[in-house]
Amino acid sequence: MAQLFRPTDREVFGPLLRQDLSSFIQRAALTVNPGMSYLHNWHIDAIAWHLEEVARGGIRRLIITMPPRSLKSVSASIAFPAWLLGKDPRRRIVCVSYAEGLADKFALDCQKVMEAPWYCATFPVTRIAKGRGGRSDFETTRGGGRFSTSVGGTLTGRGGDIIIIDDPHKPDEAQSDAKRAAVIEWYRSTLLSRLDDPVTGPIILIQQRVHEADLAGTLLEMGDWLHLDLPAIAEEPVEISLGWRGTVRRVPGHLLHEARLPRDLLDQRRSELGSYVFAAQYQQRPAPMGGGLVKWDWFKTYSALPDRRSGDRIIQSWDTASKAEEANDWSVCTTWLVRDQMAWLVDVCRARLEFPELRRRIVSESHRFDAKLVLIEEAGSGLQLLQEFARTREVNAKGLRPRDDKATRLMAVSHLIEGGNLSIPEDAPWMAEFRREMMLFPNGKHDDQVDSVSQFLRWLAEPKAVPSIRFL
C-alpha cells in the first residue's frame, strides 16, 4: 500500500505518528526509499510494539531475530531512533552495525527522516543542531542525538541511554571462531560500558542468525533477554503479541510475509544458499532442524507413560561437568523408564553445578525417581563421583568409560532411535532445548544432552547377564 500518507494528511496523522511506532515506520520507509511500494505486514506491528515497550521501560533486554530484507534496519536503526528523538530530543542513542559504511548509511537515513517536512510538522520541538551533524553522528538542539559506530570501533567519551545493535556479524565471517569471539568480546569489554545508566539502560539486538555461537546465541544463553523470533517459515506453534492490535498465532508452515518472501522465493533461496545458511539466516536456526546425525522423526512420542510392570526399571545417565562457570559445559541427567529393549525418556535435568552441588544433585535425582542404576561417565569429575558413591553407597552407580569421539558414539547407537526403541514426551518444559541440541549435533555449541543419551543407549545395547538355568 504505497503512499499511505499525503502532505494534506499531516493534521490527521500527526498524533498517530507520535504515538504509534508501526505507523511511523511505514512513513519513514517511504521517506528513505521514496520509490518503493510499501507492503505492510503484521511482523512490523510486532517489532514496533516490542520497541515501544523498550521505550516505556517495560523491556530492558530485547533480541529480535528475523530474515534479511524484512525492514529490520529501517525499523530498528532508522525509524526507531528518529521516533525516540521526536518524543524526547534529549535522548542519547548509540547504534552499532558490523561495518562502518553500513553504520554511516543508517545514520544518514535517520537524518533524512528527521529533516523531512512531515517529521518536522509531527515533532516541532526536535531539530538537528546546526554544525552538529555528520556521516555517523548528529545531535539535537536539546543535547540528545544518535551516535553510531561499527563493531570493534571506538566509543571513547561517548555513551547513551539506549544501545541498538543491528547485525553485529558480517555473514561471510560467521564460520570464523576468532571473528565471532571478537564481536562478543567487544560487546562485553567496550559496548556494555557505554550505557549511561548500567542498571536501567536498555539494549536491543536485532539480527539474522549466522551461527549457533553468534552474539544472539551467546546472549540468549544468559536467560535474561526477551526474544522475538521471526523465522521466514514457522517451525513450531507460537503466539506473538502485537500490543493493542492483538496477537498473531503461527502454526508450522506459516510464512512470515508471503507478499515479500513467498514460498517459491524461499525455496529458491534454500537452493542457492544451502540448507545450513538458509536455516541460519532465514529460519533463525543455525543448523537445519532436520539435519545432523539424528532425525527428529526417528523419535517415537508418548502422551502418558505406560503403566509400570514387573521388571521395569528407572535408569539415569549423567554427563557431568566439574565447574559451574558460564563458559563451562552443563551437567545433564536423563531419566529413563526401561522395559526390556524399550525406553521412555521421563525427565531431563540440566544445570551448571560445582562439584559439591553436583554430587548432591545426583543423589537427590536418584531418590526422586527411585533410580535402580545411575550411569556416570568414567572420566573427569565422574571418576571422583564414582569413587565417592562406591564408598557411601548412596546410589547404585556404574561407570562407563567413553570410547571414540562423541559423534562416533552417537552413530554407534543411533539405530536404536531410528528403530523405534525410544519414546519421548509429546511436550515437556525442557523439550525445546533437548530437540535443539539433538538436531544441531555435531554442529551445535553444546552436546551434553547428546552425551547423556548416547551413554544411556550404549548401556541399553549392551548384552545383559541372563540368570543361569539349572537342570535337575
Burial class (CB in 10 A: 0-12, 13-18, 19+), 429: exposed
**Distance, CA of 166 to CA of 77 (rounded, Å):** 7
Write the single-letter amino acid at 187: Y
Tens-digit pLDDT string for the chain (472 aa)? 444 545 445 555 788 999 999 999 999 999 999 888 888 999 999 999 999 999 999 999 999 999 998 999 999 999 999 999 999 999 999 999 999 899 999 999 999 999 999 999 999 999 999 876 667 889 999 999 999 999 988 776 678 999 999 999 988 787 788 889 999 999 999 999 899 998 899 999 999 998 888 999 999 988 789 999 999 999 989 999 999 999 999 999 999 999 999 999 999 998 887 777 888 899 998 865 555 678 888 899 999 999 999 999 999 999 998 655 544 678 999 999 999 999 999 999 999 898 999 999 999 999 999 999 999 999 888 999 999 999 999 999 999 998 888 888 888 888 899 889 999 999 998 998 899 899 888 877 789 999 999 999 999 998 765 444 333 3
Taking the complete model, does pTM exceed 0.85, yes or no? no
Name the nearest CA neighbour of 439 among 259, 263, 253, 275.
Answer: 275
List of domains in the chain: 7-281 (3.40.50.300), 296-461 (3.30.420.240)
Asked if residues 93 and 81 have their Cβ atoms less than 8 Å apart, the reply is yes
- C-beta separation of 164 from 107 below 8 A: no
The residue count of the chain comes to 472
| Residue 359, C-alpha cell as written in the block | 554430587
